[in-house]
Amino acid sequence: MNQEEGQHVPAGTDDPELLDFATKIFNLARVGDARALAAYVDAGVPANLTNGTGDSLLMLAAYHGHAGTVRALLERGADPGRPNDRGQTPLAGAVFQREPDVVQALLDAGADPAAGTPSAADTARMFGNEDFLAWFAETGSDGADFPG
C-alpha cells in the first residue's frame, strides 16, 4: 500500500522496536499531541496509518476529541472518510462522542455524514443530536435518503 491508501501495522509483527514506535504514534493521536504527531507525519509516517482494527490516526484523534490534531492530520493528507474495519468513520466517532469542533473540522475537509456503518447521520439521529443533523443538512448529505 502507498501513503494515499494508508499503511497498516501488520498483525503478528515481531519487531519490538517497530511495535513500540507504532504504539507511540497511535498514542500521540489518542492524547492529541498535534505537534509531535505532525512532525512524525512530516518525517514520513503515513497520514493514513491504521492499527490492527483499522483505526486510523485520524479516527483516534477524532474519537478522543482532539480538533487540533484532527486538523493537523487533515492538512497532511489524512482521509476524512476512511472507515475502520467495522465500517465506522472518524465523523461518526466524533458525533458519538459529541465533539462539535472535531465534527466541524471533518465536515470542512469533506467528510460525508452518510458514509459508514452506522453513518454519522444515523448516529446523530440515534442520540437525538439535532445540531449535528442540521449541520449535515447544510452539507447536502444528511443521510435522510438512506435506510436506517
For 144, residues 6+ apart whose C-beta sits below 8 A from its C-beta are 121, 137
Structure confidence by residue, pLDDT tens digits, 124-142:
999 999 999 999 998 776 5
C-alpha distance across the termini of the chain, in Å: 33
Cell reading at 57: 490516526
For 91-105, what is each residue's pLDDT tens digit? 999 999 999 999 999
What's the pLDDT score for residue 12? 55
Residue type, 126: M
* CATH, domain range 16-139: 1.25.40.20
Q: b/e string for 62-80 if b means 16 or more Cβ within 10 A?
A: bbbbbbbbbbbbbebebbb
DSSP 43: T
User: What distance in Å separates the CA atoms of residue 8 and residue 65, rounded to the nearest whole number?
Assistant: 23
Name which of 56-60, 86-90, 142-146 the model is least confident about: 142-146
